[in-house]
Amino acid sequence: MNTLSAQPFSERTALASYTQNARRTVPGFDSMHLMASVLLAQRAPQGGRILVLGAGGGMELRLLAEARPDWSLDGVDPSEPMLDLARETLGDHAGRATLHLGYIDDAPTGPFDGAVCILTLHFLPAAERLRTLRQVHQRLAPGAPFVVAHCSFPQQPAEERSRWRDLEEAYIVASGGTPEMARKRRKGVEEGLPVLSPEDDERLLHEAGFGAVTPFYVGFTFRGWVASA
Ligand SMILES: C[S@@+](CC[C@H](N)C(=O)[O-])C[C@H]1O[C@@H](n2cnc3c(N)ncnc32)[C@H](O)[C@@H]1O
C-alpha cells in the first residue's frame, strides 16, 4: 500500500503493510492521528456523531472509539479492502462504527458533531477537493470541528518543491524504507498526486465555508488543520 499513490487502494496483499509504509512516509503518523482524536474529543459534544472520511485502515476510527465510548461513528471510504482493514483494526470496537462504501456523497446527511479526514484529500484535484469539503461542511452542525491532514507543501518555485520532495525521500530512507521505495513514492507524487500548497489548502477550506482554520500539525510535506463549520 502506497500512502501517497494515486493508485486505487485495492491490492489485498499490500494492505498488510499499509500501516508500516504509512509510518515510514508520514513523520509523526501515530502522533498526528492521536492529536486529531484529542482535538475532536475536546471540541465535540457528549453523545456526538462523528464522520470519518477516508476511513480505510481504521486507525482514526479505533482511536475515536477508544477516546469516547459515548460517540457514534460513521466511516466512509471507496475501497472495500481498506474498509476490511478498518474492520480488522477496530477489532472489539467494530460495533461502534457504521461503515459506508463510497465517497462523501454516500455519507449520511448528518448533522454530524465533528468530522475528520486524514491522508485522503491529497488524492483529489482542487475542484473535487473543494466539492468534497463543501459536502463535509453541509453535513456538520454549525460550529462543529473538522480535523483534516494530508500532503501539502510549497509548490512554487519548482526548486523549492523539489527540495521538499528530496526531504520526503530522505525521510523514508532514514525511517527504514529502501531507497527504491523512496524513489517509487517520489515518482508517484510527481506523476499522480495533485498536491496543493498550504495556502491553497487553507483557501479551499475557507471557500467551503469553514472558519477558524488553524494549523495543528506539520511533518515535513504533511500538514493538518482544525477548522469550525
Ligand atoms: C492513505 S489512506 C488513509 C487512510 C486513513 N485515513 C489513515 O489515516 O490511515 C487514504 C484513504 O482514502 C480513501 N480515498 C481515496 N479517495 C477518496 C475520496 N474521494 N473520498 C473518500 N476516501 C477516499 C482510500 O480508499 C484510502 O482508504
Task: Tell me the CATH number at 36.
Answer: 3.40.50.150
- Cβ(194) to ligand 1 under 6 A? no
Is residue 4 in some structural domain? no
Quick: pLDDT tens for 104-155: 999 999 999 999 999 999 999 999 999 999 999 999 999 999 999 999 999 9
Is residue 3 in some structural domain? no
Measured CA to CA, the distance from residue 32 to residue 38 in angstroms comes to 10
- Cβ(198) to ligand 1 under 6 A? no
Chain mean position to CA 118 = 1
pLDDT of residue 6: 42
Is residue 7 in some structural domain? no
For residue 202, give its domain range: 12-228
Quick: pLDDT tens for 148-184: 999 999 999 999 999 999 999 999 999 999 999 999 9
- Cβ(61) to ligand 1 under 6 A? no
**CA triplet 204, 225, 116: central angle to 5 degrees?**
90
Quick: pLDDT tens for 184-196: 999 998 998 999 9
Is residue 5 in some structural domain? no
Q: Are 228 and 210 in contact (CB under 8 A)?
A: yes
Is residue 88 in some structural domain? yes
Is residue 6 in some structural domain? no
Instruction: Say what percent of the chain tops pLDDT 90.
Output: 89
Distance set, CA 79 to CA 40, 45, 70, 76 (Å)? 25, 30, 27, 9
- 21 CA distance to ligand 1 centroid (A)? 15
What grid cell was written down for 48?
Answer: 456526538
**Arithmetic mean of pLDDT, 5-9:** 47
In the chain, how many domains are there? 1
pLDDT of residue 18: 87
Is residue 2 in some structural domain? no
Is residue 1 in some structural domain? no
pLDDT of residue 17: 82
Quick: pLDDT tens for 51-62: 999 999 999 999
- Locate the ligand 1 atom nearest the alpha carbon of residue 59 and give its number: 9
Strand extents, DSSP E, 153-221: 211-219
What residues have CB less than 8 Å from 12, skipping those under 6 apart? Answer: 81
Q: Best mutation site among 120, 133, 195, 217 for ligand 1, i.e. most ligand atoms within 8 A of its Cβ?
A: 120
Torsion of CA 22, 67, 229, 130, to 10 degrees: 20
